[in-house]
Structures are given as C-alpha cells and as structure tokens.
Structure 1
Amino acid sequence: MRDNRIELVRASWKELTISISDVSLSDEGQYTCSLFTMPVKTSKAFLTVLGETLHTEGEDVTLTCSTSGSKPAADIRWFRNDREVQGQKEVNATGRSFTVKSKVHLRVDRTDDGAAYTCVVEHMTLGSLAHQVTEVLEVHYPPQVMIVHSVVSPQEGQYFKLECVSRGNPLPEPVLWTKDGGELPDVDRMIVEGRDLIITTLNKTDNGTYRCEASNQLGSNRDEFVLYVY
C-alpha cells in the first residue's frame, strides 16, 4: 500500500481489514480483496465518498449512501450531527452478495447550514470498525438583520451606539446605515465602525429613524430604530 493514509488494521487467514484516513473524493471507487488460493477468490466493495455540497434555503435535497458486495446485506444508519435520523433503505441481491442503498430526503433551511450528515455502514465482519462517510451541508440564505442599542433612555451629551447584527450566507458585508431615508447628516459625530453606528455626543437633532440594511447574493433585509433624545 503506497498511500500512507491506508493502514492495515487486521490480517488473518480469514479476514483482511484496512482503514483510510482523511478520505477525499478521489478515494471513491471499487475496492477488491483477493485471496490467492487455487482458484483465486476475490470480493469487491464500492466506496462512495460524500463531500461538502452547496445548497440554497428551501431546496429539496436527497442524500444517498450505498454499499455493495456484502454478504449478508449490510445495514446503513444515518446521523445528523449526533442525532440518528431515519433513512429509506433499499436492498438488492447481486449474485451471491447484496447491494444496499439508503436515502435521506430533506428541505434545507438556514438551520441546516454546517450540519453534518453521516452515513454509517455496519456489517458483522466489521465488528466495531463500522465504515462511515460524512457530508457537511453548506446552505446559502438571505440576511437576517436586527439593530441592538446600548442605552435605554438616551440623554443629550451621551455616547450612543447602535449595533447592526446581520446573519446570512454568504455573510452580508458591509452593512449600510441611513437616517430618515438619507445619508447620515453629521459624519463628524456619526461614525460607522464595521457594523456599528456610533454617535459620539447626542443632541436633539439626532432624533429620527435609523436604518441598517444588509445584502448578499440572495437578497437584502433591514431593521429600523427610532431614536428619541431626552
């Protein structure tokens, strides 16, 4: 075995087990185990490698895991992060061995962004060394925006900060601050730092509606805050 990622785990007169670390898409394909008797005996298995796939919120997604060449039929289980989820399993006989396929259907939303779906293949010959592959979902979704303020009852002369909390994938950056539908009127006192709008010294001319808007390739969103200086 020339690849250092492939390790011989167990070898005996009746069993040969290997493990593959840092699995990549190039590892996908058919693997053959040969026993050099007269005649030579061989057994084959097909490895399917799942990777990170990009989806859009609201999209219907089907994850498929399959294994072939087992006897008796292997069992396939699915996990979303650490929680087991139900898959739809299909078993087909191919000669003296079995091909097992399992699918998970879901409509993805922003809560699925970063979720790891793991397919675990179990078989009596594997013992505790169940085979598994994982796909991490990346879900793109439009921004969510919320303005958080630092002072409950703003007073004249105070320092005041509005924070624009925006989430989305891709990350909506930068954000746009406006006052009463137009540009910020006093750039000397009204300073934009990243996502924050800072008013260094409040006065009553600052009264009005402040809006933060965030955009990415999937859309835009905004939130408003009405400032009244006492």
Structure 2
Amino acid sequence: MKNPLCWVILTGVAFLLIQQGLPVYSQGDSQSDNKVMDNITVRQGETVLLSCSQGDVVTHSAWLNRSSIMYAGEDKWSVDPRVSLVTLNQDEFTIKIENVDMTDEGQYICAVQTRSRATTTSVHVIVQVPPKITSLSKDVVVNEGSNVSLVCSASGKPDPTVSWKIISPAAQILTSEDEFLEIPSISRQRAGTYECTAMNDVATDVQTVELTVNYAPTVSDGKDVGVTLGQQGVLQCEADAVPPADFEWYRDDRRIFNGFDGIEIEDSGALSKLTFFNVSEGDYGNYTCVAINKLGSANTSIVLFEVIEPTSSTLLQGPGAVQDGNSASRACHTSTCLLVLLALQLLLKF
C-alpha cells in the first residue's frame, strides 16, 4: 500500500471492526493478528507509555484511540500537546501521554502493517483518581437535645469509602462507615471536631467539621469566704455554659454594679470575681451570683462573714489567757488554796 493516508484510513476501519468483534484482513487477504495486552493502570497526573513491537519489515504503523489517529509513523495526528513519540524503529513503536486524566481512559490500538500481514495490538488504559471530598457539611451550631445529621460525599476511582470519627475530645468514641453521620438528641459531651475520611487505593482525603452544642449555664456551688474587718475579700463564681454566660451579682434583691461602693467585678471566661478592697461591717452578708445565656440561667449563694483576729494582749498572755475580771478571780482563788495548805501543814506537826 503506497499511500500512507489510505492505509491510515483502512487502519481506522480495522479498529472499528475489532471493536465489533469482526475479522480483519489486509489488502493481500492475509489474515491479521489481533493481540490483546494486559490492562495498564495509571494514576491521574502520571505519565503512561504505550508500546508495541513491530518486527519483520514494517511498511506502516499507527497508534489509535477511539477511532482517532494519534500517530501515523513519525507523523503526529493528535493535537494534544501531552502526546509525544518516544521510540520508532523496526523493533518498537512507543508513544507517551503525560499528565493523564480521566478522559484518557479507554482502549488504544497499535496497528502495524508489514509486507506479509497486518497486526493489531490493543491495550486498555485504566486511570485511577485520588479521592476528593466534594460535599461536606459546614460547621454546625445546635442546641443540646437536637438531632444532628452530617454529610460527606467524595469522588474518585476506584470509588472511595467514606468514614466519620470524632477526634476532639479524643476520649469520645464515635465512628461511622458511611457518608452520613446521624446523632440523635445530641448532648454537650458530643460537641467537638468531627473528621471525614475518603479513601481508595490511590490516596486519602481528610476534612473536618466543628460541631458546637449550646446549653444553659450550670453554676458550681459557691464557697463562703471569711475576711477580717478592713482586709480584702474576694467572692468567686464559676459557670459552665455555651455560649459563655454573662454574670450578675446581687446583695439581697439589689444588683451590684462594677465600682459600686468600692467593689470591683471582673469577668474572665467562665469565672466572675467580686472583690472588696476594704471590707466594712456593712459588707458582711449573703451574696447571689447569677449566670445567664440565651438558653437559661443558674445561680448560687455565697456568704461573706467576719473573721476576728486575736488581740495583742491575748497573744502576750498565751493560750490560757482570759479577760481581766476572770484573771483577778483566778488569782484570788490561788491565794486561798495556799492558805489552806499552810494550815494543814501546821496541824500535822501537832
């Protein structure tokens, strides 16, 4: 066959016949040899080499894909810049495709015409694609007791498996081998960071979702505080709440504000402090701390009581010291005892 273009067209027809399972003959009625190579598996983004052996005296050769001609001998027919010729000699005809994508998957045919016969070699290229999470629930904020549904969808080839687990707090054990994670009547203990993993034979893709659970405040029991008159005293109130609680302080039914009568109120996260810089008689009594957020409130009572320090006179007299009147009585009682002892000694002499 003298005309290369005619031969290439005939090769394309032969390719179509091969796809339909029909026998193919050369122009000289010599039956062609049809060979099938093992599948070639390549990962997306990599380079694949397509090679076939020629042998004998080759007159024409071509690589085809989906009935389109990629190379006819040294002539490039493909307009794809990723396709190039690697080797063309009497023994080997090899082309390469760089940066392989899913569109490159399919059957490829190497057609070789010698003086005696036509030979076709087919190979199927399988493109593997790393998993990619394509749809993921956004960060979620719910109230305690609500039902929660998280979704994580992924693409890839082979089809990736999708799983869920909670990674913070680490003590929690909660997993799901599904793209859907259902949490009925969620509690505050299940708030945290949830991780979705999509995995196949190629790679792994991981993304996270933050799950926040709102709940009403709970307040720790207040600890009563004893302070000496004129000294500094601090009352503390601690609340657990999401969102964080706002604090209010009361004396009886009267609310106390920062700076009121020399009192300072300092809130820091879950803790509120009520500070008296110079405790007076009127400061002693019962105080109430109230923690409030949009879901509710809680309170606790704290007593500020007086602590009496020992006086200098009692410190000098020691642990057995008493008031002056008692001391005189004790001294008088001691003198009486001495007189009685002297009288007994005199009686014993007679």
Give the whole-Å Cα distance in 2 for the aligned partners of 1:61 and 1:193: 36
Give the whole-Å Cα distance in 1 for the aligned partners of 2:279 and 2:186: 45
Matched with 1:221 is 298
Matched with 1:209 is 286
Larger radius of gyration: 2
Matched with 2:240 is 167
Matched with 2:166 is 80
1:1-230 alignment runs, 5 A limit: 14-16=42-44, 33-35=102-104, 47-68=134-155, 70-71=157-158, 73-81=159-167, 83=170, 85-87=174-176, 89=178, 101-113=179-191, 115-126=192-203, 130-146=204-220, 152-173=225-246, 175-184=247-256, 187-194=260-267, 195-230=272-307
- In structure 1, the gaps of 5 or more residues are 1-11, 19-31, 90-100
Count of residues in correspondence between the two structures: 188
1:123/1:221 Cα in 2 relative to 1: closer, same or farther (>3 Å)?
Answer: same
Give the whole-Å Cα distance in 2 for the aligned partners of 1:79 and 1:153: 49
Contact preservation (8 Å) 1:34, 1:43: no
Matched with 2:332 is none
Select the structure with the greater relative contact order (CA < 8 A; seq sep ≥ 6). 1
Contact preservation (8 Å) 1:80, 1:117: yes
Give the whole-Å Cα distance in 2 for the aligned partners of 1:196 and 1:37: 72
Same amino acid, percent of matched pairs? 22
Give the whole-Å Cα distance in 1 for the aligned partners of 2:234 and 2:187: 32
Q: Which structure carries more helix by proportion?
A: 2
Give the whole-Å Cα distance in 2 for the aligned partners of 1:204 and 1:159: 13
State the 1:125 CA deviation: 2.5
Give the whole-Å Cα distance in 1 for the aligned partners of 2:288 and 2:127: 69
State the 1:117 CA deviation: 0.5
1:184/1:119 Cα in 2 relative to 1: closer, same or farther (>3 Å)?
Answer: closer
1:41/1:215 Cα in 2 relative to 1: closer, same or farther (>3 Å)?
Answer: same
Amino acid corresponding to residue 160 of structure 2 in structure 1? A
State the 1:105 CA deviation: 2.4
State the 1:16 CA deviation: 1.1
State the 1:171 CA deviation: 2.1
Deviations 1:92-119 (A, max 9, x none): xxxxxxxxx3434243233334x11111
Contact preservation (8 Å) 2:216, 2:297: yes
Contact preservation (8 Å) 2:248, 2:255: no
Q: Which structure carries more strand by proportion?
A: 1
**TM-score, length basis structure 2:** 0.45
Contact preservation (8 Å) 1:206, 1:229: no
Give the whole-Å Cα distance in 2 for the aligned partners of 1:189 and 1:46: 59
Give the whole-Å Cα distance in 2 for the aligned partners of 1:212 and 1:13: 69
Give the whole-Å Cα distance in 2 for the aligned partners of 1:123 and 1:217: 45
State the 1:207 CA deviation: 2.6
Amino acid corresponding to residue 174 of structure 2 in structure 1? V
1:88/1:16 Cα in 2 relative to 1: closer, same or farther (>3 Å)?
Answer: closer
Runs (4+) of structure 1 exceeding 6 A deviation are: 38-46
State the 1:34 CA deviation: 2.2
What is the root-mean-square deviation in Å for CA atoms of aligned residues? Answer: 3.5
Specify the SS of the correspondent of 1:168: strand
